Structure formats: structure tokens, C-alpha cells
Amino acid sequence: MNEFIDCHCHIFNIVDIPLYATIQGKLNVNTINRFTKSLGITLFAPFNLIKKGDDIVATKEDFIRFFERDLKDSIIKFEEHLSKIPEIDLSKTLITPLIMDFDCIKEVEENSLGISNLEFQTQRLIKGIKASKNKIKICPFIGFDLRKLVLDDNGLDAVKKLWKKYSDSSNKNASINNLISGSILGIKIYPPIGFNPYPVKKNKRKKYIEFYKWCIKEDIPITVHCQKGSYSAELSSKDINRMTHPQNWLNLLEENPQLKNLRINFAHFGGEDGVEDMLDPGRIFSDGIDKNTWTYTIIKLLQRYPNTYSDISAYNYGKSFGKINDYSKNLKKVIELDYLKKFKEGKYSVSSKLLWGSDVPMVISEECYDSSYANYYKHLENLVNKSKKLNQNDKRKFIENLTVNNPKKFLKIK
């Protein structure tokens, strides 16, 4: 394996985060967002910063420093991590950092460029990419908050202008070597910050569907967050899960057949908790599969529609509290069930739709990451190689599909 693609990661720092709105939201709603959870603290108990200071610094140093660094330095650090994987060629490696659109919740600040926070963030990242002079190719996904389609009469025109300004048509069907590093390759949408991708109100639906139609026309890949336990500045866990649930997307595609070719990645595959929920040994008449779960709903989407994918970023390859559930074995079980053709929702195999992703920096300093990208990736290789259901050729093919072939199909590159 020489080529390598990470379809889900982030390169940003503290400047890009709506910190005031995040803290205020957590105080008001009394929920813990993923950012603070990663630090091991709660924002509605600020004294914990002092009380747990030594522990935080000792165990979360890499994570905290990521947000202190200049973007150029974070990119250099990222490449250093990737260089520790002996099987890959850095010059044939692509990462697609996902930019978050915080414009609707971040206070609008004056800047010398007179542009939105989203565009300012995008320009800073592109500048960092150019300055890092890295070997790897970096093609970000620009964030887009779908609420802008309703709040602004020119919302769709605005995202079209951003796409035209920062994407590069020569990237379509290009090889990794020929990609223009720093150009936008896709769009990232993040429902947990406050919107349902298939809203109930018909006037909203119409505008959202126009956006999806444009994405199909331009063949733009979309990555959408799709697991529980998500970041949000203001919403309750119940509202977050309602907006993020993959059933919204299944409803959208079932009720709007003109959108069947939407190119979309349902990020996180429902998470390790979603995979665990789906595997229920007590369901002896359905191969131990609970079909009323997030991950199984994503499997329906993967098997029924041609351009649907799901990355396994930020997956915890360890064990649950008390070591009752082994998340690594759970994912191996899903791979084996697919190999044995136990998922029967459509003509596409799940293994032909899964994508590799890390979710750096969110997994940095976490137990599942082992403080090393190479170690984190090794967890995936180990669980595949431990399978007794797949032969050696199938194991090799699965890894190659996950890290190269499937991402290329999703991103429309050679």
C-alpha cells in the first residue's frame, strides 16, 4: 500500500472555535460537549481547571497544544505522524480536513478582509497549507451551515460563490499526485449545531433540496456528522440526536428519488456505541442484528444508494467501562457479517462503502489513539487480521478499499 487517504480530520486552532457561545450554551443547557469532554472537564464547573490541572496537562498535552499551534505547525506535526506508517508514501497521501461553519453561532467580528468567519477560517487554513510546504496533499472540505439557506435569501448563491472561489475543477478525476493542495474538495455539514438536514417545514425543505440538487449537479462530495454525543454550543442531547439521526437522510432520499445520486459520507458510522447497539446476540432470528439502530440505518443508506459512504473516524478500538464490550471485536463482527452477506438492504456491500478517517485532533491523547497516528491505524489493521472469517486476500483487499479505493470513489479522484 503506497497511497493513503484520511477522509476525516481537522486542522484548526482556538481562534476558530466559538468559545464564548460554547461556554454559555453549556451553562444554560447543562450538557457536556465533545471539546470539553476531550479535556476531561466540565465547563459548568470551572474550578475543575485548577483542581484537575496536573492531570489534564499530563494526559491531554498533545490535544491542548494542537489548539495553541499555528496551523502551519499543526500540518507539519500531522505529516510527522503519518510518516510513522511504513506502508505509505507521503507524496501519495491525501488528507481532507473538515472546516466547521460557526457563522450562525459565532459573534461576527470585524476583520481587515471584511469577510465572514467561515471564509476567514478557510483562508487561514489555505495559507497554513501553502506555508507548511508539506509532502502530503491537503484538500479541505469547506463547512456550510444549512440554516443560511433560510436566514439569507442569497444563501445558496453565497455557498456557490465560495465553492467557485476555493475549489479547483482540475481536481475532478485527478490522481493524488495531481491534486491542487489547498483547494477545496468537498462540503462539510454538521447538523448538531442547530439544523435538521431534512426539516419538517416545507419552505425550509424546498431550499435544502435545492442545495442538494446543486451538489449533485456539480458532483460535490458531502461529509455529514452522524453519531450520538456530538458537539453543540446550545442544544440539548435530545435535540442534537434528533437532528443528527441518519433516519433524516433515509427519509430525504426515499421521499425525493431525484436525489438518489447524492454523494455523501455519513461520518463515524454511528460511532462505536452505534455499532454496539446494533449487535444484539439475543436477536437469534436476525443474525444478532438490531435493525432499529443508528448504524443499521446507515447500512441501509450504504446498501441502497450508489454514492453513499461512511467513515469510521474517531472509533474507539478499546473496551467499554468495566470491559464488558470490546469495540474492536464489535467492528470486526460487522466486517464479517458483511463478508457473509448478512446485511440484505440493497445491492452494495458495506465493505465497498467504508472510508478511513482519524478525526485528528479529537482522538489525540485518547486511549484509542495511543498518542500516535500509526498506533491508532494499527488497531484497525489488527482487528482485520484477527478475523477467522476472511482469508488473507480478503483482509488485504478490505484495508486497501478502506484507505484508498473507496475514498477515491467518494472524492471522485483517480
For the stretch 203-237, pLDDT in tens is 999 999 999 999 999 999 999 999 987 777 677 88
Is residue 95's pLDDT more than 80?
A: yes
Phi, psi of 301 (to 5 degrees): -65, -40
Distance, in Å, from the CA atom of 244 to the CA atom of 392, rounded to the nearest integer, reads 37
**Selected residue with higher pLDDT from 366 and 304:** 304
Q: CA of 80: how far to CAs of 71, 135, 176, 256, 403, in Å?
A: 14, 10, 19, 45, 18
Non-local CB neighbours of 18 within 8 Å, separated by 6+ positions: 102, 105, 106, 107, 233
List of residues 6+ apart from 112 with CB closer than 8 A: none
pTM summary value? 0.90
Beta bridge partners of 314: none
Q: Which amino acid is at 275?
A: V
Domains of the chain: 4-411 (3.20.20.140)
Which of 286 and 119 is assigned the larger pLDDT?
A: 119
What is the residue whose three cell numbers read 454550543?
233
Q: Is the pLDDT of residue 304 over 80?
A: yes
Angle at 45 between CA 44 and CA 46, to 5 degrees: 105
Quick one: pLDDT at residue 395?
97
Task: Give the model's confidence band at 404: pLDDT under 50 very low, under 70 low, under 90 confident, else very high.
Answer: very high
What was the pLDDT predicted at 115? 76
Mean pLDDT (whole number) for 157-170: 95
Cell 494526559 found at: 59
Q: How do residues 24-76 score in pLDDT, each as one tens digit?
A: 655 454 444 444 444 444 443 443 444 455 555 556 677 777 778 899 999 99
Lowest-pLDDT choice from 23-37, 253-267, 288-302: 23-37
Q: Rounded to whole angstroms, what are the CA distances from 155 to 149, 159, 196, 211?
A: 4, 7, 16, 9
Q: What's the pLDDT at 71?
A: 93
Q: What is the pLDDT of residue 25?
A: 58
Nearest CA among 60, 407, 400, 85 for reference residue 263: 407
pLDDT, mean of residues 365-370: 54
- pLDDT-derived band at 10, boundaries 50, 70, 90: very high
E strand or H helix that includes residue 145: none
pLDDT above 70 (res 365): no
For 310, residues 6+ apart whose C-beta sits below 8 A from its C-beta are: 226, 265, 266, 267, 268, 269, 298, 301, 302, 353, 354, 355
DSSP state at residue 52 = T
Closest-CA residue to 226 (of 280, 160, 171, 298): 298
Q: What is the mean pLDDT of residues 327-341?
A: 96
Return mean pLDDT, the chain: 87
At residue 29, the pLDDT reads: 45
Res 146: pLDDT = 97
